[in-house]
Structure 1
Amino acid sequence: MHKIIVVEDEGKIRRGFSRWIREYGSPFQLAGEFATAEEALESIKEQKPAVCFLDIQLGNRNGLFLAKQIREISPESLLVMITGYDYFEYAYESIKLQVFDYLLKPVPKSDFFKLLERVEDRLHSREGQGEESGQRRKEHLVSREDCSGITLRVVDYVERHYEEADLSVQKLAKMFGVNRAYLSRLMKEDTGYTFTELLTKVRIEKAKDLLDEGGADIRMYDVAKKVGYRSQHYFSRVFHKSENISPSDYKSKD
């Protein structure tokens, strides 16, 4: 079993991440959850965990400074930085520390599980068991068997980058070096969805994750921004059209 620790000073988020790690289960074991860097360091020195989830803002301490200390005492640990602020300086420092990933709060449960899948693959790769663990794969958005290579790359990109407000078929056609009209037609043939329909489906599912897990205090503006919508009003319209219920009513339902 690979040990994971969570260092996060917001109790609700810390408990939520810990619960998801337990729910994901093998090959991971939650080895501790801590609100302060000082408490975490003692456990890290003793346990040498495989993975550390670190909040960048830890009260009066900086999580990046903690990451540097972990690099010295447990250099093999994979580091995942967590923050509520999309600051370039944080991302830049994280890159220099060779962190495994960088999460921007709020984090949908589905994204957290996909991150754990990537962590699992990395750890298995280290152990010489190949890139794919084969132990657990969630339902994919579309049938992989029916899709061309280009379509699969587009779908994977959408699932990883749905937060980007400027995500479009034009952008991905240019990125993958194909004609826009050709890509649009290919996606519809392969998946049954237009690009916009696919992107909307992904974003609404992520929004539902956030609303399910966020509780009463989550702000609709934050949900909209997290899933790639600049306008809260437009997000609400799209959500209602998709689910026949407003996001506010969805959040408050039993």
Structure 2
Amino acid sequence: MYSVIVAEDEPWIRGAVVEMIEKAGKQFQVVGEAETGEEAWELIQSTWPLLLITDIRMPDMDGLALIQKIREHQIPMAIIIVSGYDNFQYAQQAISLGVTDYLLKPVEYSQLTTVLDRCKETIAAHKELNECFVRIQAFIEKMFDSDPRTLLRKQHDLVQSILSLKLLNAGACRNLLRLFESRIRQTCDEMGIDSKFQIIRAGHDNDVVLEDFRGLLLQWITEYPHVKSQDTKLIIDQLIKQLNLQYKKDWSLQEMAEYTQLSPSHFGVLFKKQTGMSPVNYINRIRVEQAKERLMQTDKKIYEIAEEVGFSNLPYFTRLFKQVAGLTPKEFRKRLGQ
């Protein structure tokens, strides 16, 4: 199964692309939809898709900025851009950033399936790297609450597995190790822990590399308890209260991070640790729960309820409701005998 995120600010285009992907067969599965580049970036970091289909022009962060960010972080995925004739120059810039393919609007089913087929080779090449990214992200999230012995063991196993990858060349393994190192350093820096002195010697004997990673992590283990903010849980709890009160608002990741006075990446990790889900998924779950209440207690039309809880697009609301509740709004209401 190839996981897909669709990023498009026009609801009817996004919905049409999602439906065409679902129609194309079980090999591709949409795991997230985004209205802005910023929302897509958050979804990427929580779902690690193998394929991104993105518009060029979007609010907050456009498609080009999103693609550049993906490349800067060396995230392995195939990328298809969706472009109108009037912004084809932007599409050409995206192609220079190494996108896999592009589609012109309006997107047609035959064109999409052809492009998806062309992407399979790229996706297959990225799959092993993608799995490593998922493991690295899971490790970073565990840095905040795992006991030292468990953390050291997990890091040793992860570094060892990267060094043992048989399908990657030496250069790809070095890049993966550098990425893992940079993620640990970034986490240290965001908590005010100086990690500058330690350098991972990725070209050396495996035992040397393992020892270098151990030294870097020991620095985190030693200093994190002293810099850990006792107020972080309280601050996120306060944000959660605001999200429950203002669930109709289009909260951006940047807005939420600013509310907690944390960096967006650090905020995302801590929010997921505290709630078990990403900020976007948390807000969507609140909206679905609110919709359930209205479906049970009123006889309003489904599109009216969708608008009341913050969704301007009925097909998107229906898909999201089914993801969360396991039923469409219509099926949910039918189960209630209404």
Bin of the TM-score, shorter chain as denominator length: 0.3 to 0.5
Give the alignment's TM-score, normalised by structure 2: 0.35
Greater fraction helix: 2
Give the alignment's TM-score, normalised by structure 1: 0.46
Greater fraction strand: 1
